[in-house]
Amino acid sequence: MSFCQYCGTELTIDTKFCPGCGSATTESEETIIQSIPIQETKVYSPPKEIVIRGTDQFPLVEFVLSSDSKVLIESGAMVYHNGNVRLEGRLNNKGEEGFNGLIKAVGRSVVSGETMFITEVYGTQNEGRITIAPPTEGKLIQVEVGEKQWYLNDGVFLASTNSVSYDIKSQTMSKALFGGTGGLFIQETRGEGQLFFSAYGEIEKIEFDETKEQLVVDNEHVVAWQTTLDYSIETASGSFGAMTGEGAVLRFHEKGTLFIQTRSFNRLKEKINID
Report pLDDT digits (tens) over 111-128.
Answer: 444 556 889 999 999 899
**Pick from 128, 129, 167: nearest CA to 145:** 167
Q: List pLDDT tens digits, range 163-172.
A: 998 887 766 5
Mean of all residue pLDDT scores within the chain: 78
As a three-state string, the secondary structure of 170-217 is: ECCHHHCCCCCCCCCEEEEEEECEEEEEECCECEEEEEECCCCCCEEE
Greater pLDDT, 64 or 212: 64
Q: List pLDDT tens digits, range 254-274.
A: 899 999 999 877 677 666 775
User: Residue 237 — φ and ψ, nearest 5°?
Assistant: -170, 155
Averaged pLDDT, 8-21? 71
Task: Find the range with the poorest average confidence among 2-11, 164-173, 227-236.
Answer: 2-11
Q: What residue type is 258 in one-letter code?
A: L
Q: List beta partners, residue 151.
A: 188, 225
% pLDDT > 70, the chain = 66
pLDDT at position 223 is 92
Greater pLDDT, 19 or 110: 19
Q: List beta partners, residue 11.
A: 2
Residues with Cβ within 8 Å of 211's Cβ and at least 6 positions away in sequence, in order, are none
End-to-end Cα, the chain, rounded Å: 57
pLDDT at position 119 is 94
**Pick from 238, 234, 237, 230: nearest CA to 214:** 230
Helix, strand, or coil here: 56?
coil
Domains and CATH numbers, the chain: 1-39 (no CATH), 49-272 (3.60.160.10)
Q: List pLDDT tens digits, range 60-108.
A: 999 999 999 999 999 999 999 999 999 999 876 555 544 444 444 445 4
Residue ranges with strand state E in 44-127: 49-54, 59-65, 70-74, 78-81, 85-91, 117-123
Answer yes or no: are the C-beta atoms of 95 and 88 closer than 8 Å: no
DSSP assignment letter at 256: E
Helix count and strand count (H, E) for the chain: 2, 22
From the CB of residue 59, how many other CB atoms can be counted at a distance below 10 Å? 20
pLDDT at position 269 is 67
Greater pLDDT, 23 or 162: 162
CA dist list (Å): 106 to 100, 112, 120: 10, 10, 18
Q: How confident is the model at residue 185 (pLDDT cuts 50, 70, 90)?
A: low
pLDDT at position 35 is 42
**Pick from 104, 103, 68: nearest CA to 84:** 68
pLDDT at position 213 is 77
Residue 183 has pLDDT above 70, yes or no: no
Averaged pLDDT, 51-68? 95
pLDDT at position 19 is 73
